[in-house]
Amino acid sequence: MQDNMPSQLQEPICINVDKVFDWIVKEASFEFSPTGPISFPGVTATTDLVNAVVTCSVVPSATSPVKILHRENRQFTIDSATVCLQNLTIQKTFTLTLVVTALNGQRFTSLPITVSRCEQVTLCAPQGTDVEILFTDLDCFVCSVGTPQAGTNTITFTDLHVTISVCQSIQSTFPVTVEFLATFCEPRAELPFACPGVVRPAQCPAVFPPHG
């Protein structure tokens, strides 16, 4: 019987990981209708916005994109068994940017606009667990704008409606330490490499040295 190579030996190890208590995938959409002037650097009171095209982009907020506002225990009957789950009120915050393209090709980009929306989800998420949301798809489109009115570094829309749609993976997690048998990895073999030979530049014997 051959002895095991070092890379084939298994050893119990402990690592820190996040245990997933519950996991759902959910679609959601909501409408955002800002009122009042919106900051658009570069716009002047004489900027022609007639028939301008308005588009948008949206990303999760760089700070505190997800907050758990409320957690309530609720009893549910699943497969004839009573289960205690948690009804969570979650606040999600996004950063929205509007882009206005005038007929003459001028483009104006708004300063970032913070948009927050709340929704409720039911998960196995007892007190102490955290909620992680991964946006697998996040998009927006402008439904209507009304009549844009240009000001000094501002645009006011009379009927602006932006729809934001998300596909989201929602998990309740808690950090744990787990033990398991592991096989240690070995480094791969180095790729073969040969030094290139001496390279000489192309010659021009018909030109130099001169003949005769």
Neighbour order of strands in the sheet with 149-150: 38-39, 154-156, 149-150
H or E stretch including 30? strand 10-32
Specify if 14 maps to a domain.
no
Spatial separation of the C-alpha atoms in residues 118 and 116, rounded to whole Å: 7
Angle at the Cα of 29 (from 23 to 34), degrees rounded to 5? 135
Q: 97: closest CA among 155, 136, 66, 57?
A: 57
Q: Please, which pLDDT band fits residue 1 given cuts at 50, 70 and 90? A: very low
**Pair 58, 164: CB distance under 8 Å:** yes
How do strand 130-144 and strand 161-183 relate by DSSP bridges?
antiparallel
Q: Which domain holds residue 75?
A: 24-183
Q: Is the pLDDT of residue 69 over 90?
A: yes
Residue 16 domain flag:
no
User: Is residue 7 situated within a structural domain?
Assistant: no
List C-alpha distances in Å: 153 to 54, 102, 104, 144. Answer: 16, 15, 18, 21
The pLDDT of residue 109: 97
| pLDDT at 2 > cutoff 80 | no
Q: What is the pLDDT of residues 74-120, one digit of tens each?
A: 999 988 889 999 999 999 999 999 999 999 999 999 999 999 999 99
Q: Considering the domain boundaries, does residue 109 fall inside one? A: yes
pTM of the predicted structure, to 2 decimals? 0.76
In a domain, 191, yes or no: no
Residue 29 within a domain: yes
Q: Is 121 helix (H, G, I), strand (E, B) or coil?
A: strand
Q: What is the pLDDT of residues 129-182, one digit of tens each?
A: 999 999 999 999 999 998 899 999 999 999 999 999 999 999 999 999 999 998
Mean pLDDT along residues 192-203: 77
Decide: 154 and 28 in contact? Cβ < 8 Å. no
Residue 173 domain flag? yes
Number of domains in the chain: 1
